[in-house]
Structures are given as C-alpha cells and as structure tokens.
Structure 1
Amino acid sequence: MTTDLRTTAGCTLRDAGKDWDAIRVTRSTGLSVIEILGTRCGAVVEDPLTTSLYFFVAPGVAAAWDVDTTRPLGSGSSVTIPPDRRTQGPGPHWRMCPGEDRWLTDADALRAALADSLRPGLGMERLG
C-alpha cells in the first residue's frame, strides 16, 4: 500500500522503497556531506523538528546499508516530502531541491562523503 498523505503545511508523507530509499543523517553531518558531494548531490530534505537531513538513493540500497551514525529508510518506511521549491521552514523543506535529473544521490558517493565527513580533523583541514 502506498502512502501519499498531504498535511496542512502542504507536505506529503511518501513511502520509501519504490522510487527511492532514503538515508537519514544528523544535520551537521548532512551539511558536511552536501559540501563534499557538491554537484554530485541529489535532492535533500531537511527536517528541523528532528534536526535530520534525508538523502535519496536508489530503491533497495537501504536493505544493505550499514554506515554508522546513519539510518537507512527503505520499504516499510516513510519520509515527509515538502512542496516543490520550499527551501526554508518552518517545517520540512528542501536543502537541495530535486530536479528532473537530480533526485537521487549515488550510494557509493554518499558512503564515501559520509566517511570523509566523519574523519577526525576534516574541519581543521578545510580551515588551514
């Protein structure tokens, strides 16, 4: 059964596992990952209530995802999707808006960016 529930704020609760899976990360980690990925980053939803970012990956990726400090959301999970082009709150909004060819982030690139973002001293290297 597909969930497609619209909220009063215009958001839609959408099931993962069909068109995409999602990887949830903390906001601070997610912002670093977006910077590392640059133009390779797909759409990203920010949820201020949970201070989380959601990266969208190919369906089925969540089943084998095993990266510490992240939570994979595949079949049986849902993600709140904001209205098109909502880029600020209150509530869930796009940190990176989806485009026709920019919905999904490559899972291997996301995994590598997560590893880089969690490496000790990364922030200091960028400053130096």
Structure 2
Amino acid sequence: MPPPSIRTIKDCRLEDADRTWDAIRVPRSVGLDALAILGGRSGALLEDPLSAALFWFIPPEDAAEWDVAGTRVLDEDAHLPIPSDGRTHGPGPHWRVRPVAEAWTTEAAALQAALEDAASPCLGVGR
C-alpha cells in the first residue's frame, strides 16, 4: 500500500519550510509595494489568495536575524503549497515571480529594506 499523501490544490506540492530556504509571510497589501521596490532583485514570490499573503524565500541562515513588523518567518513545522513552475495565476497559490534555479531566494537585507519602505507612511506621498 502506498504511503498516505497530503492533498493540496491541483499542480501544487506540499513542502516543508526550513530546508533549503525559509519563507517570510507578508500581508499582500504591503508585499505588492515591496515587490515594486525590489524589482529585479526579487527571487521567487508565492501568492496565496486565500490567506491574502505573499511568501518570499530567503537563505535559512538569514531567518534567525529576521525582525520586520507585520511579517512572520515560517519555522520547520510549517508547510507551504508550492505550485508548479508554470502556475502564474489562480485559483489558489501561484507564482507572482516564478522561481529560477539561480534566483529562488531573495537577499534578506534587500527584502527587509523594501518591506520597511513599503510599510512607511510616507510611501505614495508625491505620487
């Protein structure tokens, strides 16, 4: 008998956080502004419409120092539904920025700066 599997949305597989990356959960409202600030410096970015959240991936060693208000590092007990590389639209989890072998993770310092700028009350002044 095959081992039991966890069902998830079509074209997604359930992955443990804290293996080759740590995931940072960010509210969609702030995350979209942060993505605009990061531009091409963003690595893969997962969007989950059900939770209204975006998930960036950073190198695991950088998570211990993570301290950005309104965000959360997913620990080793967390799981994420990881869509196939081609899934760029919903329904369900999909890639806002598709993963590329050499750019799966985002530099933690750049992500932190972008999130802090995005959450700043001055963002949008003068636009």
Q: Same fold (TM over 0.5)?
A: yes
1:67-90 per-position Cα deviation (integer Å, ceiling 9, x unaligned)? 110011132221111111211000
Report how far residue 5 of structure 1 moved. 4.6
Q: Distance in 2 between matches of 1:100 and 1:12?
A: 18
Q: Distance in 1 between matches of 2:80 and 2:90?
A: 16
Counterpart of 1:69 in 2: which secondary structure? Answer: coil
Report how far residue 62 of structure 1 moved. 2.6
Please show how residues 61-100 of structure 1 align to structure 2 within 5 Å.
61-100=62-101
Q: For residues 10 and 69 of structure 1, do their structure 2 counterparts lie closer, same or farther at Cα, with a shift above 3 Å needed?
A: same
**Match for residue 22 of structure 2?**
21
Counterpart of 2:39 in 1: which secondary structure? Answer: helix
1:122 maps onto 2:123 in alignment = yes
Structure 1 stretch 66-75 or stretch 48-57: which is displaced more?
A: 66-75
Q: Distance in 1 between matches of 2:6 and 2:99?
A: 20
What TM-score do the two structures reach when normalised by structure 1? Answer: 0.89
Which amino acid in 1 is paired with 2:105? L
What TM-score do the two structures reach when normalised by structure 2? Answer: 0.90
**Match for residue 114 of structure 2?**
113
Q: Distance in 2 between matches of 1:64 and 1:8?
A: 32
1:61-115 per-position Cα deviation (integer Å, ceiling 9, x unaligned)? 3333221100111322211111112110000000000012110000000010011
Give me the CA root mean square deviation.
1.5
Give runs of ≥4 in structure 1 deviating > 2 Å.
Answer: 4-8, 60-64
Q: Distance in 2 between matches of 1:8 and 1:116?
A: 33
Q: For residues 121 and 82 of structure 1, do their structure 2 counterparts lie closer, same or farther at Cα, with a shift above 3 Å needed?
A: same
Q: In the comparison of the two structures, how many residue pairs are matched?
A: 123
